[in-house]
Amino acid sequence: MKWLVLLHVLGACVWAGGHLVLSLGFLPQALKHRDLSIIQNFEKHYERVGIPALLIQVITGVWMALIYVPVSCWLTLASPHHVYLWTKFALLAGTLVLAVHARFFIIPKLTVEKLPQLAFHIVLVTVLAVSFVLVGLSFRFVYF
C-alpha cells in the first residue's frame, strides 16, 4: 500500500509542479513577449513526463479507491472519503475536458492572437492540479 501512495504522490508532484512552473514561470514570459515558442518548447519536453505522471496518478488513484472505498459504496456520499473520491473524479473529468478542448480546438489553430485562450486553459489545468493535491491530502488529513 505504501508504494501505491508513493507512486501517486510522485505523479502528483510532477503533474502539479510542472503546471505550476508553466503557469508561473513560462506563461508570463510567453504573454509578455507574445511568443508561442516559449510554451511549445516547455510542452514538448514536459509532456514526456507529465502525461505518464497523470496516468500513474489515475491508475494508483483508482487502485487506492478500491482499497479505501468498496465499489458497492462508490455511489454514496456516506463518508468524507466518498466525497473526496467523487471530487477527484470531477477534477479528472474537468482536466480531460480541458485537454480535449485544447487539443482539438485551440492547438490546431494556435496563433499569437489565441495565446490568451491557451493561457486560460493552462491556468485552469493548474488550478485543477493543485486542487487534486489538496483533495488528496484531505484523504489523510481532513482540510475540507
Q: What are the angstrom distances between the C-alpha of 108 and each of 7, 32, 55, 63, 104?
A: 33, 22, 24, 35, 6
What integer pLDDT is reported at residue 144 of this predicted model?
58
Q: What is the pLDDT of residue 61?
A: 93
pTM of the model: 0.90
Q: Which amino acid, one-letter code, is at 108?
A: P
Q: What is the pLDDT of residue 142?
A: 66
Q: Could you tell me the three cell numbers for 123?
A: 491556468
Question: Could you tell me if 67 and 81 are in contact, meaning their C-beta atoms sit under 8 angstroms apart?
Answer: no
Give, for all 144 residues of the chain, the pLDDT tens digit. Answer: 789 999 999 999 999 999 999 999 999 999 999 999 999 999 999 999 999 999 999 999 999 988 887 888 878 888 888 888 899 999 999 999 999 999 899 988 899 999 999 999 999 999 999 999 999 998 877 665
What is the residue extent of each domain of the chain?
A: 2-140
**Residue 114: strand, helix, or coil:** helix
